[in-house]
Amino acid sequence: MYLFDSTLTDSVDLVICSTCGMSEGRCGCGKGEVILSGAERKRISKFLSGMLRHFPEKYGIEIDRNGFASLESVIAILKERYGVGESHLRAIVQFDRKRRFEIVNGKIRARYGHSTDVDVRWSESGRIPERLYHATSPENLKSILSVGLIPVRRREVHMTEKPDEAMEVGFRHSRNPVLLEIDAERVMGSGIEIRKKGRVFTADRIPPEFIRVVEWRRR
Ligand code: HQG
């Protein structure tokens, strides 16, 4: 039995201070200024996810084969829509708890979650946990236990190391999600690649024999 205890949130203010630099919530000396409220930060982050993962053409930005857009083009759009600039974008990226975005050499991309045709077959180095978690709505269970986890509308299946983080996702789909444990070691042993992308782990598919339902209740 797994005891669920929710603590994750990205809706804390982002603060800049001449002494302490950039921080989340109050800075060390307390003199910092809020550059983005928690709500603004969340709104912009959701917009970025939508644009970089699903609808770049809607906003006229070009995404390369690896999912990168020029930082300049993204900043221009954020300026127009939200009146914010590069420092705001960098703060959003830096403090994102799920490490959703990555800035490299003047370009930005979403690490995961795509529905568009970008090359998703890359992985950060680092350990792949032996067990991974995914939570879903109860209506999906029968199908998942029969054909496995498939990407549905996205390019990959998404999993997390921590059951709590999977449950956060599950609650977006259902008030009473089903928690699934994936035997990642056996998945990889069967020749299916598992990729690490920030705090998220992805695969092309997870066959049903490596999936088990975990009972849970609130702490
Ligand atoms: C389900 C968010 C029936 C699957 C999250 C899920 C994640 C099946 C839904 C990331 C199935 C797809 C992705 C099958 C899978 N039969 N249903 N065979 N196989 N499904 O939104 O994992 O916060 O595409 O269980 O944190 O919920 O936005 O996937 O319920 O990391 O950064 O089909 O998006 O990231 O739903 O979420 P989604 P997801 P952000």
Residue closest via CA to ligand 1's atom 7 equals 158
The domains found in the chain, sorted by start residue, are: 11-110 (1.10.10.970), 131-218 (3.20.170.30)
Q: How far is the CA of 157 from the centre of ligand 1 (A)?
A: 7
Sorted by sequence, the CB contacts under 8 Å of residue 89 that are 6+ apart come out as 44, 71, 74, 75, 78, 108
Contact 163, 2 (CB under 8 A): yes
Helix (DSSP H) and strand (DSSP E) numbers for the chain: 6, 14
What pLDDT sits at residue 4? 78
Q: Which of 6, 10, 115, 149 to mutate to test the pocket of ligand 1 (most atoms within 8 A of CB)?
A: 149
Query: Distance between alpha carbon 165 and the CA centroid of its chain, in Å?
Result: 10
What pLDDT sits at residue 202? 98
Q: Which atom of ligand 1 is nearest to the CA of 168?
A: 26
What pLDDT sits at residue 7? 61
Structure tokens that stand for 94 in this block: 């830096």
What pLDDT sits at residue 10? 61
What pLDDT sits at residue 81? 96
For the entire predicted model, the pTM comes to 0.94
Tell whether the torsion through CA atoms of 69, 71, 72 and 76 is positive or negative. positive
**Cα(202)–Cα(3) distance, integer angstroms:** 24
Write the pLDDT tens digit of every residue in 169-209: 999 999 999 999 999 999 999 999 999 999 999 999 999 99
Per the listing, tokens 């975990």 go with: 214
What is the C-alpha R_g of the chain?
19
What pLDDT sits at residue 3? 84
What pLDDT sits at residue 62? 97
Contact 95, 35 (CB under 8 A): no
Q: Which atom of ligand 1 is nearest to the CA of 170?
A: 27
- In the chain, the largest separation of any two C-alpha atoms, in whole Å, equals 57
Q: Which of 102, 158, 164, 172 to mutate to test the pocket of ligand 1 (most atoms within 8 A of CB)?
A: 158
What pLDDT sits at residue 2? 81
What pLDDT sits at residue 218? 84
Cβ atoms within 10 Å of 109's Cβ, excluding its own? 21
Residue 160: strand pairing partners: 133, 200
What pLDDT sits at residue 6? 67
**Cα(174)–Cα(21) distance, integer angstroms:** 39
Q: Which residues of the chain have pLDDT under 70?
A: 6-10
Ligand 1 touching residue 152 (CB < 6 A): yes
